Structure 1
């Protein structure tokens, strides 16, 4: 099992794996909040622009950390069909709408009026600090595909082996430092230091690009 000191460490290690893209016509697209810390290190090391893709997970009411759906600001939705059968459908509809609105809010706050980076015809490198269920990153991939990148690469520090296998069917390339056959159940278990990332930190990193 690979352990990371923190998200910066994960970003530096992923930058090594992505070194062939240094100076290429590529864009780093990070999932806030934690993915922005990782993405910033990659973008800084490889001299590439950094932007965000905002997707919100809908956690199970009995275990909010366990994603049963994911939605972006435009309403693109992906759910675990087996899991959503067991939850109150009125609650689910309201929660999907709430998280869609939260995605919109975060885009406004994080971008601060800046236009999104153009992705069409470029190499899009989608980054996060790790994958659990894969729902969030798959919605992000769908959003990016609609913008017609030349190539879509997923780069994460850790992910369950079976999830990586599924993502490889949808991405042009998947780069994972720890493709764990015996996944520990939470991304944070692979980090020595895994604090919450604030909106202010995300904004600071995006502004320093």
Structure 2
């Protein structure tokens, strides 16, 4: 199984692939936390602005890692087709409300009170460190579109092949979609957790 050394190497490889096709007025949007170190390298290679696109996964009751949907900025949310089989309407509404509050908190934390990058008429390149279920990627792309992006590109180092279906992007750039996909972390040698402080530092450096 081919593995990336870490998120920076994955970002370098992804950035080089994206650089082969110029995309004028591109904005690189990292999905926190793990997608931001990948996105930072991509933005550097493309000489494009870097911003964060905050989304939160909705985990199934008792199985937090199994995503039944996701929520994002501006009240946007997406649900898997079978989400309501795993959780009742009242519990689902409560999860959406609580995760939306966390999204708002993280937006303020990561951007340090600054405004979001204007996406109107631009190409939004949504970057994550990998796609397992597709819920977070779908939410991220939908939010970028809702914020006025003229074109949405999903760019990821690795993904489960079936998870890429139904992603609302104009283009998907994926370096590896192995038939034997397991967890995203299995495709990295170093997959340590990304801290909030690292995300803030990367965004601050990009702004400066």
TM more than 0.5: yes
**1:129-179: CA deviation from partner (whole Å, max 9, x where unpaired):** 000111111111111112232321110011111222433xx3111000111
Q: Which residue of 2 aligns with 1:145?
A: 145
Return 6-15 or 90-99, whichever deviates more: 90-99
Picking from 188, 196, 201, the partner of 1:199 is 196
Map 1:124-143 → 2, pairs under 5 A? 124-143=124-143
Q: Distance in 1 between matches of 2:31 and 2:155?
A: 11
Match of 2:175 in 1: 177
Partner of 2:94: 94
Aligned pair count? 206
Q: Write the mapping of 1:75-94 to structure 2, written as runs, cut at 5 A.
A: 75-94=75-94
Equivalent position SS for 1:201: helix
Structure 1, gaps ≥5 residues long: none
**Bigger Cα displacement from structure 2, 147-156 vs 18-27:** 18-27
Give the corresponding residue for 1:118. Answer: 118
Provide the TM-score with structure 2 as the length reference.
Answer: 0.93
Using the TM superposition, give the Cα deviation of residue 110 of structure 1 relative to its aligned residue in structure 2, in angstroms.
0.5
Rounded Cα–Cα distance in structure 2 between residues aligned with 1:109 and 1:137? 21
Q: Distance in 1 between matches of 2:23 and 2:163?
A: 30
Q: Distance in 2 between matches of 1:181 and 1:83?
A: 25
TM-score (norm 1): 0.92
Query: Secondary structure at the residue paired with 1:11?
Result: helix
Instruction: Give per-residue Cα distances to partners, 1:24-83, cap 9 Å, x unaligned.
Output: 311001101000000001111221110011110011122111111211132222112324
SS of equivalent to 2:20: helix
Structure 1's 150 and 89: CA in aligned 2 closer, same or farther, altered over 3 A? closer
Is 1:39–1:128's contact at 8 Å kept on the other side of the alignment? yes
RMSD: 1.6
Task: Tell me by how many angstroms 1:22 deviates.
Answer: 5.9
Q: Which moved more, 1:7-16 or 1:67-76?
A: 67-76
